[in-house]
Amino acid sequence: MADWERKRTCQNKQAINEIRKIMQRHAKIYPDLTFHVTSDLNWLRYITQVEYLDATILPQSDVLDLGCGLGHTTALLASFREDIKILGADMSEHITWKDLRKFGGKFCICDATALPFSSESFDVIVSFGVMEHANSDVAFLKEIHRCLRSGGCNIIFQLPNKYSLSEYLSKKMGLWHHGRTYSRHDIKNLVNICGFEINHLSMEHVIPAQVNRISHTLESIFDKNHQIIYKLDKLLCKTPLSLISQDFMIVSRKT
């Protein structure tokens, strides 16, 4: 590893740790808003997804993190890539934004289905578990299409799978679950209708991370063994069990 790579790796780890501490600090005050970042397994998944973005996004790109929520993904990507301009956008301001701005990202308030940006403003638009919550998924994708430059990349993480076992069990147990879910067929139709060409479509996360909804004891076990569980989950996603995984990852380009 070259010296500059080693320096960058150390800086990344330092930023990751600091961002996680900010999330954990706010989790004690706003537990209902931060449940998805308190799980060590879920946090590792966020890091892996941001690493994918780091390897995918071209230098000097303009990036929109749409529906950024607390802003941790915006801050993580900004800390990984000082060369890009990244803006996190959400329907309301979050108290965490103030602490996360120092990592290089900016934040704004807007509706994901009526974006206040000029056409062709961004090279990449990324979202983490957002489209299923939009009033209209077609409007959501069409706004992304409008705001992307020609050949621009739309990357969607954590889109809930219609046939997910964890979604089914959550519904049966009376726990929170997504009101709108998707099949592979649904995704292909939506993306094509809205003017995108799919480059990558995969099913991810057979093992649920947010087990605190079931048991705090189970949550503790998962946190202590999250690295092992993460590796096991990656293996399971390569088997037919991927059909009942939690969510999809989609990479598409504006045609």
Summarised one tens digit per residue, pLDDT across range 196-242 is 999 999 999 999 987 877 778 888 899 999 999 999 999 999 999 99
Domain of residue 176, residue span: 3-254
Q: How many CB atoms lie within 10 A of CB 253?
A: 16
Express each pLDDT in 78-99 by its tens digit. Answer: 999 999 999 999 999 999 999 9
10 contacts: CB under 8 Å, gap ≥ 6: none
Give phi and psi for 65, each to the nearest 5: -95, 95
Task: Give residue 6's pLDDT band: very low, low, confident or very high (50, 70, 90).
Answer: very low
Express each pLDDT in 52-77 by its tens digit. Answer: 999 999 999 999 999 999 999 999 99
Q: What's the CATH number where 149 sits?
A: 3.40.50.150
Q: Is the dihedral of CA 132, 219, 234, 166 positive or negative?
A: negative
Measure the CA dihedral 81/104/83/62, to 10°.
Answer: 100
- Among 31-45, 145-159, 214-228, the range scoring the smallest mean pLDDT is 31-45
CA dist 32 and 142 (Å) reads 31
Question: What's the token pair of residue 230?
Answer: 């993460």
Phi/psi region, residue 67 (left: phi>0; alpha: psi -120 to 50; beta: rest), is left
Is the pTM here over 0.85, yes or no?
yes
Q: How many CB atoms lie within 10 A of CB 235?
A: 10
Looking at residue 149, its pLDDT comes to 97
Residue-wise DSSP of the chain: --HHHHHHHHHHHHHHHHHHHHHHHHHHH-TTT-HHHH-HHHHHHHHHHHHHHHHHSPTT-EEEEET-TTSHHHHHHHHH-TTSEEEEEESS--THHHHHGGGS-EEEE-BTTB--S-TT-EEEEEEES-GGGSS-HHHHHHHHHHHEEEEEEEEEEEEEBTT-HHHHHHHHTT----S--B-HHHHHHHHHHTTEEEEEEEEE-SS-S-GGGT-HHHHHHHHHTHHHHHHHHHHHTTSGGGGG-SEEEEEEEE-
The whole-chain average pLDDT of the chain stands at 91
Name the domain count of the chain: 1
